[in-house]
């Protein structure tokens, strides 16, 4: 009886040993026509006729699987550390290029629901190169076919609820028809752009100009998240990923799509909050003779309760206000809108007395929102006389900036609105000289510096003192200089914290 011959080692298991991943040899080498993959990423194995005992074969196969899982774990760990759509797309492009053995690529974010946002990110491609690729008709480009849907992979109606029979869901007519999840298009591999059938001539022209000969496009889509976009990697020579590489990039792509879907929801929520906040604040500042106004409003990811206002009053007067409501998010925005609207009404009725305006506002806040507190500063300005009367409730003092002085306005200490049974504090009067600018700001400007309160006040004073003389005639330039000096990196939208409001009034 003939003895059984030893089983030959599968082609995807036999490979020369490359750098290890977590102590396990990689088994998927990079194709010779592309650059080496990222460190720690496995590559495909060349065929071999070597025969191994069954035990060694199983052990090698298990080691290969563990190596693949380790690699995917490391790549997904790096991906989940990204907290922005652009950052996640760039990380996904780099990791995907290593997994498929390519050198360049691009990712297009274009959610199927049409609600945006949209963006295009390149890897090893300049902005002009991305524009050149976008000149290829979408029906010919692989990523465009994925974004628009492939008839053979995504038939009309796929992903939409199937039609219910007449009367379905009504009493006695039984349950509604089952819903069908969205179908995910298959990846598209173009092994050789020069010989591929059905390609638009423009596609071949662009490939020759940019120097790529093949591509592999992956849909950024899952049945749950739907289609968010597509990624395409470009090869320098004719090639396509083997089955093992396709499997790895498929697993990674599904995880990346779910992560992008979460970031997309966060980005849309932030955009909605920012839109609501902007709608609750003045769309433009009024023009009043004798004074020029400018404002800068920076908001965090959740949206805070900082606000400002500039209200024309009878007889050429002007009401200026800044304030902050406790809390963040939609509830704080709603409270801010109510508080600002109330202050405008009180300013029209008794604006000449800022103490009365804030007293009425405190009573309203205590009666209608007893669990909330707020700081506020209201100033009644008469630009023609360059006279300002102001009162503050737990708010930082204004800062006067001019050619001959930079000093804080001395105001009395008082509690925020809603903290005491009856609020009242004396008002302060000041007369800015011609050409001086009065800065009203919220506490977020000081707290965003990360310094202690006294140190933050000193930095604000130094920033205002260092405004170039050529910029002091423009209140917007004064505000920009102060913000650049105090917050040189700007307001990081990913960092939780208070909003920043800076209102500048320059008196002629």
The predicted structure's pLDDT at residue 61: 74
| Residue range 135-193, pLDDT digits in tens | 999 888 888 888 887 543 333 344 434 444 444 443 444 444 444 455 788 999 999 99
The pLDDT tens digits for 375-404 are 999 999 999 999 999 999 988 999 999 999
Neighbours of 401 (CB within 10 A): 25
Supply the mean pLDDT for the chain.
Answer: 82
- Per cent of the chain over pLDDT 90 is 52
| Closest C-alpha among 186, 218, 221 to residue 113 | 221
What's the CATH class of domain 18-153+182-271?
alpha beta
Q: How far apart are CA 445 and CA 397, in angstroms?
A: 12
For 70-91, b/e burial (b = at least 16 CB within 10 A) is bbbebbbeebeebeebeebbbb
Within 8 A by CB and 6+ apart from 349, the residues are none
Q: Which of 58-62, 91-95, 265-269 has the lowest mean pLDDT?
A: 58-62
Given a cut of 60, is residue 39 above it in pLDDT? no
155 vs 372 pLDDT, higher one: 372
Q: Indicate if the alpha-carbon torsion angle 170, 173, 175, 178 is positive or negative.
A: negative
Mean pLDDT, range 445-464, rounded to an integer: 92
Judge whether residue 25 has pLDDT over 50. no
- Give the three-state DSSP class for 131: helix
Q: Do domains 18-153+182-271 and 281-507 have the same CATH topology?
A: no
All structural domains of the chain with their residue ranges: 18-153+182-271, 281-507
What pLDDT, on the 0 to 100 scale, is given for residue 226?
Answer: 87
> Given a cut of 70, is residue 41 above it in pLDDT?
no
CATH number for 281-507 (one of 3.30.420.40, 3.30.750.24, 2.40.30.10, 3.60.40.10): it is: 3.60.40.10
Residue 23, pLDDT score: 37
| pLDDT for residue 490 is more than 50 | yes
Q: How far apart are CA 334 and CA 308, in angstroms?
A: 14
Rounded Cα gap, residues 493 and 217, in angstroms = 32
User: Using CA atoms, how far apart are residues 237 and 17, in angstroms rounded to an integer?
Assistant: 24
- pLDDT above 80: residue 57: no
Structure tokens at 465: 């003192």
At 212-229, the pLDDT tens digits run 999 999 999 988 888 899
């Amino acid at each position: 009886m003939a003895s059984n011959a030893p089983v030959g080692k599968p082609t995807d298991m036999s490979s020369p040993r490359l750098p290890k991943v977590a102590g396990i040899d990689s088994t998927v080498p990079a194709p010779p026509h592309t650059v080496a993959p990222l460190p720690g990423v496995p590559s495909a194995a060349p065929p071999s006729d070597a025969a191994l005992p069954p035990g060694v074969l199983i052990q090698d196969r298990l080691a290969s699987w563990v190596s693949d899982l380790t690699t995917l774990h490391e790549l997904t760990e790096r991906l989940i550390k990204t907290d922005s759509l652009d950052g996640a797309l760039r990380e996904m492009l780099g990791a995907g290029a290593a997994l498929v053995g390519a050198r360049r690529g691009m990712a297009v974010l274009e959610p199927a629901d049409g609600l945006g946002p949209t963006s295009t990110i390149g890897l090893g491609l300049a902005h002009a190169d991305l524009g050149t690729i976008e000149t290829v008709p979408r029906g010919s480009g692989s990523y465009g076919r994925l974004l628009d849907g492939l008839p053979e992979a995504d038939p009309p109606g796929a992903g939409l609820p199937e039609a219910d029979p007449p009367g379905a869901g009504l009493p006695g007519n039984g349950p509604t028809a089952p819903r069908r999840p969205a179908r995910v298009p298959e990846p598209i591999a173009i092994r050789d752009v020069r010989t591929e059938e059905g390609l638009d001539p423009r596609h071949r022209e662009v490939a020759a100009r940019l120097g790529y000969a093949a591509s592999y496009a992956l849909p950024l889509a899952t049945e749950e998240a739907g289609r968010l976009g597509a990624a395409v990697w470009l090869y320098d020579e004719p090639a396509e990923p083997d089955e093992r590489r396709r499997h790895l990039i498929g697993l990674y792509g599904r995880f990346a799509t779910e992560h992008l879907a979460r970031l997309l929801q966060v980005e849309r929520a932030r955009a909605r909050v920012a839109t609501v906040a902007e709608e609750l604040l003045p769309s433009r500042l009024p023009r009043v003779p004798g004074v020029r106004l400018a404002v800068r409003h920076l908001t965090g990811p959740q949206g805070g309760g900082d606000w400002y206002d500039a209200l024309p009053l009878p007889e050429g007067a002007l009401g200026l206000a800044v304030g902050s409501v406790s809390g963040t998010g939609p509830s704080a925005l709603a409270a801010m809108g109510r508080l600002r609207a109330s202050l405008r009404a009180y300013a029209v009725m008794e604006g000449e007395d800022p103490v009365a305006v804030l007293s009425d506002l405190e009573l309203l806040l205590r009666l209608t929102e007893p669990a909330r507190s707020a700081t506020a500063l209201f100033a009644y300005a008469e630009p023609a006389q360059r006279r300002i009367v102001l009162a503050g409730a737990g708010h930082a003092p204004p800062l006067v900036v001019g050619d001959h002085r930079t000093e804080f306005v001395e105001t009395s200490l008082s509690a925020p609105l809603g903290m005491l049974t009856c609020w009242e504090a004396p008002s302060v009067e000041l007369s800015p000289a011609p050409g001086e600018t009065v800065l009203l700001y919220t506490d977020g400007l000081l707290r965003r510096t990360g310094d202690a309160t006294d140190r933050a006040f000193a930095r604000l004073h130094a920033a205002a003192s260092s405004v170039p003389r050529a910029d002091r005639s423009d209140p917007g330039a004064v505000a920009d200089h102060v913000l650049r000096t105090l917050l040189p990196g700007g307001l990081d939208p990913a960092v939780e914290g208070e909003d920043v409001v800076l209102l500048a009034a320059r008196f002629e």
